[in-house]
Chains A and B, each alone.
Chain A
């Protein structure tokens, strides 16, 4: 049973990834669902020339009363959701604290610095170990693989959204998110996204947190 309470005010979530992965839209949809529930929400997107391979984070600040700034102060994230594993670590480094929870996709998107041979990409085991050490709890899932099986890698963000809703990370229910999905997409895309969202919900029910 999903609990619809705001665990903390403000609740600070950072949804991160690489340009083009869809985390900006994902944060926007959560923002809409929360606004419809009457919360005061700010969604700050930190990106430069994002489509050109740079990291992109959306700061989601949720309150019952007042608007908070679009930039979360350092060390103040309550939730980190990442569509790319090292980006989860990058955000954890700046905004993490002993109480933060981390939910991340495991599929790497290699930086230009790595593909051109100037930097190394860490092993997934090292990434998850580092996250477990710094976060209260973590959950790493290969959401991209599920999206690929569904025939559309772009669904990764919606699977991760289902996971977040299923885990009860936000004070919104399943139907609240489905409503914003319906408003966002035409029928065909909505149906695809709905099944991706359902996959995420199923994952939340079947997978447990790592401490």
Chain B
């Protein structure tokens, strides 16, 4: 990750969309940044964190998104500038407070960056966050380029301070995870002091008069944004077709227009201030165009708002023909890309286009079909979650009551897929493993006989599991909760959480241990190493069959395998080729087929298993899996050090 403070004003840098937002925050004089990690938003806060100490910026990875926005808001109330970044799911967690600050207003510049994930590439939804800006009266900025990502963040902080309302900046995966040339601006030289003006109140009640005030502030925002440099038209004066677009679709549209050579025929109006809209600018262009194609991710938000304006102006101008995600030809789901837009142009403008000769196209596709194997995502070699799921799966088989797992969000979501034995049967939101598990635990009066194991990661435990656990104590829910504790927020890049004992900068912090929380609630809690397959299986079985009323918590504790890959193998692992009976014994490649660790390979020619030393992290679990004792272990110094 680049040092976003290094280069000075006027220089060009190749910045990630995330880094550009980070740089924009620095240029906008941000003082406090509080976020919760989640793709594709994580790198914004990471980029700022790297330079924060030398720039006297407070950065934290908050316990969850609601606390993150509250932390940034406190800075705003004290006259500082604050920013909080999160993914779309996170906005939902923060929403109650976000709704409240919509009514109460704020003081110092406050920007909430929400990063949506069209197609849900690393998310449980492709939720479009933009309609919230309209329903809660927040200005909404949507960058179409890396430059805009930077400039809009700075502008957002300024706008927010001017109108006393939080500003939403909406980015998306394709911009967040791409790098582009960005011209840098100046870093401010201002040292704000925190002071709360006690003659003021930032409160959400009484709500109606405050809602009226919010509408007035939005009218101010509309006035400020109506001639914004973020709204740009390129193209002929009266094109055959007008594109109206925002966000990451802008660059796709340019690609499509270049490939089809449409610059004489098609105009493109890129809107950056997506709410409130620049009505006058839109009116000027709508009056000149009878056909309008709206390109946006993902819901027809802009399309709907444009149609609403067109309806209002129906007496003054003919209603244009609209194309978009609601009207078609674009789908109302999934991320757009240049190819989809090319196809839309072909349909609307009756064009033909071949990306490559048809015979070549057929050959290329047939080649992939014939030769290229799929590359499914899988838990890493040696992942303790695999070991934990192996133990839970074995316990469920031994138990024979058709048990299942309720789970949620993290690397351990791979429990949905073959790599995690498809063991997880419900998965919705952070903390919903324990929450739904709690609910199942209350179904005894309806003769629910199946044992339910709720799983939650260590980071997620603090983020979203505590209310369910408290409720389980209070209401005596029959909940077996397994905490898959790998000592990190591993999925998003090892950010600290309240149990790690470090803050965002790696400095010591007061650790709040999961076992201590459970003990304080009077909950039975034990810790087991999932690498010890037999003990872990026994423990799960015992917890599932615990007759006492109320919840019990089993912590399966073992460090993330990515960390272990760095710190050294516990064991040297190899397959005794004499003992390995391959497919012949009835085990039918039990280790590679059933246990599925990518560190175990099936050598089809020799008909034997072998260990891929480049991938194996030496956890030693597979040696307990092989029924023939063919997988052998030799403890290495890391393991010996651990035992002593």
A119 CA / B258 CA spacing, docked (Å): 40
Q: Interface stretch among B283-291, B296-304, B374-382, B481-489?
A: B374-382
Contact B592 A115 (CB under 8 A): yes
Q: Which of B342, B364, B414, B589 contacts A96 (CB 8 A)?
A: B364
A-B contact pairs, 12 of them (CB 8 A): A35-B181, A42-B178, A44-B174, A45-B178, A53-B375, A69-B338, A71-B252, A73-B337, A98-B357, A98-B360, A111-B374, A112-B375
Give per-residue flags for B498-515: 1 if the beta carbon is below 8 A from chain A beta carbons, else 0.
000000000000000000
B9 at the binding interface (Cβ < 8 Å): no
Contact B367 A130 (CB under 8 A): yes
A5 at the binding interface (Cβ < 8 Å): no
Smallest Cβ-Cβ distance to B375: which chain A residue: A111
Give per-residue flags for B340-363: 1 if the beta carbon is below 8 A from chain A beta carbons, else 0.
001000000000000111001101
| B residues in contact (CB < 8 Å) with A | 12-14, 121-122, 145-146, 174-175, 177-181, 248, 251-252, 254-256, 258-259, 337-339, 342, 355-357, 360-361, 363-365, 367-368, 371-380, 411, 414, 418-419, 491, 562, 589, 592-593, 596, 598, 600-602, 604, 612, 614
Smallest Cβ-Cβ distance to A126: which chain B residue: B371
Smallest Cβ-Cβ distance to B369: which chain A residue: A93
Return B423 CB to nearest CB of chain A, in Å.
16
A73 CA / B355 CA spacing, docked (Å): 8
Q: Which 6 A-B pairs have the closest CB atoms?
A: A75-B355, A70-B178, A93-B368, A69-B251, A112-B378, A75-B356
Contact A113 B374 (CB under 8 A): yes
Return A42 CB to nearest CB of chain B, in Å.
5
A86 CA / B338 CA spacing, docked (Å): 25
A46 CA / B178 CA spacing, docked (Å): 9
Residues of B within 8 A of A89 (CB): 367-368, 371-372
Interface centre among B13, B178, B338, B562 (most CB of A within 10 A): B178
A124 CA / B248 CA spacing, docked (Å): 38
Smallest Cβ-Cβ distance to A116: which chain B residue: B596
New A-B contacts (18) at CB < 8 Å, excluding given A41-B180, A49-B491, A133-B367: A41-B14, A41-B181, A42-B251, A49-B122, A53-B598, A69-B338, A70-B177, A74-B339, A89-B371, A89-B372, A93-B368, A96-B360, A110-B612, A113-B374, A115-B596, A116-B418, A116-B596, A116-B598
Contact B252 A92 (CB under 8 A): no
Residues of A within 8 A of B593 (CB): 116-117
Contact B259 A52 (CB under 8 A): no
A208 at the binding interface (Cβ < 8 Å): no
Residues of A within 8 A of B251 (CB): 42, 67-70
A134 at the binding interface (Cβ < 8 Å): yes
Q: Which of B339, B360, B414, B602 contacts A117 (CB 8 A)?
A: B602
Residues of A within 8 A of B414 (CB): 52
Q: Which of B180, B377, B604 contacts A54 (CB 8 A)?
A: B377
Return B88 CB to nearest CB of chain A, in Å.
16
A145 CA / B410 CA spacing, docked (Å): 35
A179 CA / B456 CA spacing, docked (Å): 46
Q: Which of A39, A43, A44, A69 contacts B254 (CB 8 A)?
A: A69
A126 CA / B372 CA spacing, docked (Å): 11
Residues of A within 8 A of B256 (CB): 73
A32 at the binding interface (Cβ < 8 Å): yes
Return A160 CB to nearest CB of chain B, in Å.
17
A41 CA / B14 CA spacing, docked (Å): 8
A124 CA / B355 CA spacing, docked (Å): 28
A178 at the binding interface (Cβ < 8 Å): no
Smallest Cβ-Cβ distance to A121: which chain B residue: B373
A86 CA / B252 CA spacing, docked (Å): 28
Residues of A within 8 A of B339 (CB): 73-74
A110 CA / B12 CA spacing, docked (Å): 40
Residues of B within 8 A of A151 (CB): none
Return B188 CB to nearest CB of chain A, in Å.
25
A125-143 contacts to B, CB under 8 A, are: 126-127, 130, 133-134
Contact B254 A68 (CB under 8 A): yes
A79 CA / B593 CA spacing, docked (Å): 37
A73 CA / B254 CA spacing, docked (Å): 11
A7 at the binding interface (Cβ < 8 Å): no
Q: Which of A69, A87, A112 contacts B255 (CB 8 A)?
A: A69
Return A120 CB to nearest CB of chain B, in Å.
6
Residues of B within 8 A of A18 (CB): 375
Return A113 CB to nearest CB of chain B, in Å.
5
Contact B374 A119 (CB under 8 A): yes
Residues of B within 8 A of A54 (CB): 375-377
Contact B373 A114 (CB under 8 A): yes
Return B574 CB to nearest CB of chain A, in Å.
16
Smallest Cβ-Cβ distance to B3: which chain A residue: A183
